[in-house]
Amino acid sequence: MVSIVSRWELVIKHQIGQLDLSTTDVGGDFVKQGFSPLSIAPVHLVALAGQYMLHPDPFDHLLLALAKAEGMTIVTTDQIFSEYLADVWIV
């Protein structure tokens, strides 16, 4: 699964010049690659409200809340995720 949060962050980073994308259809691109979309639901915001913050990135905090509420593993290059969640795969 790929969260709407990740897709949203990719588009914003592209718009501000931090990321070059060949297309802004990031939702469609992920689906074409076999990923299912994961939207934000009220249960995710409950998990977010109960989470402590080690750093200020709102996208990271939403992704962590989604993973926690859904019992999912996060795949990332960011080591700080392991400070929040036990089930993190650092690549």
> What pLDDT does 48 receive?
94
Q: What is the pTM of this model?
A: 0.84
Q: Provide the CA 75 distance to its chain's centre, in angstroms.
A: 9
> What pLDDT does 29 receive?
85
Q: What residues does each domain of the chain span?
A: 1-36, 40-91
Q: What letter does residue 18 receive in the DSSP assignment? A: S
> What pLDDT does 62 receive?
94
What are the residues whose beta carbons fall under 8 Å from the beta carbon of 2, sequence distance 6 or more?
Answer: 30, 35, 36, 37, 38
CA dist 76 and 73 (Å) reads: 10
Quick: pLDDT tens for 3-54. Answer: 999 999 999 999 999 999 888 788 788 888 999 999 999 999 999 999 988 8
